Amino acid sequence: MNDTAIRFEMSAPLLELLFVREAWDLSGTAGLPACAPRPDAGRSSRPSSALDLEATWDESWAVRFAGGADESWRGRFGQVDEPGDTGIDGDALRAWKNPLREAFTALAMRSHARTDPRFTDALERARRAGVDQISVLPLTPGWSLLEGTTFWTTTTDVADGRGLDLTLREALGG
């Protein structure tokens, strides 16, 4: 295998936007499946303002998914600090996000170190196809997207090296 390492990434801002989508039951236009695991929304409460939450979420997702640095959605969506507030419950968000990030870190290290033989063929195939980053989202298994040199897939498919191999084969056309 070539020594060029493929980076593994799990974007904290995208995790936060996925939490917002699930907590407020937004449909979004990104064509994403449901989160797996689904977050507990805690005290999150959807604002009843005139703000078009669907359009705001879609806009924020598009900017962040493309690698942009739009953090303005936090101010638009708000955060629950006191009973009766509307916005996102930060404690519930962290309770969902932190274990995902910890599990991802262990998984990425195992994959990157090539200590798990289930990853060898998949990573070599991706590298030969020009993929330099695998970005992972906690979505229902089976979803993937190849965009430029980044391969987007699900946490479950990466955790199962065979799932990563299958989704890469499909995305790379064989």
* Sheet of strand 145-147, all strands in order from the earlier edge strand to the far edge: 7-9, 133-137, 150-154, 145-147
How many angstroms separate the Cα of 4 from the Cα of each of 7, 28, 152?
Answer: 9, 36, 19
Q: Mean pLDDT for the chain?
A: 80
Residue 105 has pLDDT above 80, yes or no: yes
Q: Quick one: 142 exposed, middle or buried, by C-beta within 10 A (0-12, 13-18, 19+)? A: middle
Q: Where are the chain's structural domains? A: 7-172
Single-letter residue type at 122 = A
155-174 pLDDT tens trace: 877 776 667 778 888 887 76
Contacts of 145 (CB under 8 A, 6+ apart): 151, 152, 153, 171
List, for residues 38-81, the tens digit of each pLDDT value. 999 999 988 876 568 888 888 888 888 887 766 666 667 777 76
The pTM is what? Answer: 0.84
The answer to whether the bond into 141 is cis (omega within 30° of 0) is no
3-class state of residue 63 by DSSP: helix
